[in-house]
């Protein structure tokens, strides 16, 4: 179990982020076109998982936009923005926020992704959503960087995540 704060209140996840050097766990998520995707669908690419509680908040949209802009023009990498939001809500929020160059993925059908990656919030008002985290997975599906943002209402360390990508 990992600990972070939500507006200063201690909050917990179901586990810990994957260990650096470990094999990334497979996942089953849903695109905004309601298509199932798995880790293997991104084979050979570097993957930056921008995990957020909800794209219905300005900060979550900001992180998606920042990462999307940072990898623009890169064919070797993809930004996967993962939340529990419905795909329609993800699309609406990111269109309104001018987010481009990311893939929006929903945990709508199952929370297995959040459980397997140790980011499922287990207590407090956001229990059942995912804690703000960044995980970078290399082209061989090895975990090379992780960050559980210590306070949910703050931005991730963009520079460190992008350096790992």
Q: Which residue is it, tokens 């497979």?
A: 26
User: Which residues are designated catalytic?
Assistant: 60
Residue 157 burial (CB count, 10 A): 14
3-state secondary structure at position 162:
helix
DSSP letters, 4-38, are EEETTEEEEBSS-PPPTTSBPPP-EEEETTS-EEE
Instruction: Compute CA 132 distance to the chain's CA centroid, rounded to the nearest angstrom.
Output: 7
**Per-residue three-class SS string for 75-95:** CCEEEEEEECCCHHHHHHHHH
- Token pair belonging to 29: 């998520």
């Amino acid at each position: 179990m990992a600990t972070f704060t939500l507006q200063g209140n201690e909050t917990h996840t179901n586990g810990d982020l994957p260990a650096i050097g470990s094999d990334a766990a497979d996942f089953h998520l849903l695109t905004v076109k309601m298509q199932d995707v798995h880790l293997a669908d991104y084979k050979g690419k570097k993957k930056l998982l921008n995990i957020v509680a909800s794209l219905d908040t300005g900060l979550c949209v900001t992180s998606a936009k920042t990462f999307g802009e940072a990898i623009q023009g890169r064919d070797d990498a993809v930004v996967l923005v993962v939340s529990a939001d419905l795909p329609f809500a993800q699309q609406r929020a990111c269109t309104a926020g001018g987010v481009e160059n990311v893939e929006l993925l929903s945990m709508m059908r199952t929370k297995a992704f959040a459980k397997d990656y140790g980011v499922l919030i287990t207590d407090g008002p956001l229990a059942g959503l995912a804690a703000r985290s960044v995980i970078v997975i290399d082209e061989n599906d090895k975990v090379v960087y992780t960050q559980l943002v210590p306070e949910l209402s703050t931005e991730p360390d963009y520079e460190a995540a992008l350096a790992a990508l």
